[in-house]
Amino acid sequence: MICCGHQPHGDSPLPLKFSSGNHQLVITGDTSYSADTVWLNDDIEQLGRSKKNWNGRGDHAVSEILFSLSDDETTLESLDCHGILSDGKTRYSFNPMLDDLVGRFAEISDFGSEAYHDDDPIKRFFVKGKLNDNDYILSFSIGFSVKNKIVQLNKKSSLHLI
């Protein structure tokens, strides 16, 4: 497990998994440019930059990453991410270690065509987090330009929890 800062990626933590297990990951939690996050859902209000925070730091996004270590501080036992997205309303709380989808590229088997940006199979969204049993935060970025959408998991998909 590696946690690093100063790696802005929208309005929520970015977990990145590097193996078939859920315990080898890197996570960042920098919301520096959260005001510039573009929402692709029609029902989510785009708040953007305020006059007070003209530099891109959002007024509404809150992000916290909590690590729980074993008593001897050698093993990561839990990783909890929670906060509020840049719309100022949507709350999230998830543990990327407990969900096989979070921290990986979106797959068509899990999200249908919603897994692709602009219907381009080369441009896949990344699964940043989970809102509830069926809703996930998907994100696509190039540089500091981040596009988010909330998408439901396909009912046919088989989700494996450990």
Tens-digit pLDDT profile for residues 108-135: 999 999 999 887 878 999 999 999 989 9
Q: Is 77 among the domain residues?
A: yes
CA triplet 114, 44, 60: central angle to 5 degrees?
A: 120
pTM passes above 0.75: yes
CA triplet 98, 84, 131: central angle to 5 degrees?
A: 35
Q: Could you list the beta-strand ranges (E) of the chain.
A: 2-4, 14-17, 25-28, 38-39, 62-69, 76-84, 91-94, 116-117, 120-124, 126-130, 135-142, 145-152
Q: Is 157 among the domain residues?
A: no
Q: Is 55 among the domain residues?
A: yes
Count of the separate structural domains present in the chain: 1
Task: For residue 110, give the DSSP letter.
Answer: H
Is the dihedral angle over the CA atoms 10, 16, 95, 115 positive or is it negative? positive
Range of the domain at 89: 2-152
125 touches 106 (CB < 8 A): yes
- Per residue in 22-52, pLDDT (tens digit) is 668 899 988 888 888 999 999 998 888 877 7
Q: Is 160 among the domain residues?
A: no
Amino acid 160: pLDDT:
45
